[in-house]
């Protein structure tokens, strides 16, 4: 397992690209399959046992909804050179 640096970014996407990412994620969740996504030039492997939650925040006149996927990186990482799911 390779060590990756900590990272906390937000990446904006045009609506059609965002919808395509959500659609691919929904298909993977429904079929109990792992999911690979590329965000800001980094390919990320999401295992099938990831935990899904939805978060709502309201602060300073703004509202935010986050769809979150969480998992442990303990040895269950997908090889970085797998081309499947590249978006």
Number of domains in the chain: 1
Predicted confidence at residue 3, as pLDDT, reads: 78
**Would 33 be classed as within a structural domain?**
yes
**Would 42 be classed as within a structural domain?**
yes
**Would 46 be classed as within a structural domain?**
yes
**Would 23 be classed as within a structural domain?**
yes
Is the pLDDT assigned to residue 80 strictly greater than 50? Answer: no
Predicted confidence at residue 82, as pLDDT, reads: 44
**Would 25 be classed as within a structural domain?**
yes
pTM of the model: 0.71
- Provide the token pair at 40: 């800001």
- Provide the token pair at 37: 């996504």
**Would 58 be classed as within a structural domain?**
yes
Q: What percent of the chain has pLDDT over 70?
A: 83
Predicted confidence at residue 32, as pLDDT, reads: 93
CB 45 within 8 A of CB 28: no
Element (H, E) at 15: helix 15-30
Instruction: Give dist(CA 87, CA 67) in Å, integer.
Output: 18
**Would 48 be classed as within a structural domain?**
yes
Domain that holds residue 49: 15-70
C-alpha 38, offset from chain centre: 8
């Amino acid at each position: 397992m390779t060590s990756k640096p900590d990272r906390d970014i937000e990446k904006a996407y045009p609506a059609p690209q965002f919808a395509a990412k959500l659609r691919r994620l929904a298909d993977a969740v429904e079929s109990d399959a792992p999911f690979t996504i590329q965000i800001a030039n980094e390919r990320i492997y999401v295992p099938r046992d990831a935990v899904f939650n939805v978060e709502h925040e309201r602060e300073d006149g703004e509202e935010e909804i986050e769809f979150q996927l969480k998992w442990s990186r303990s040895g269950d990482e997908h090889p970085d050179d797998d081309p499947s799911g590249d978006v």
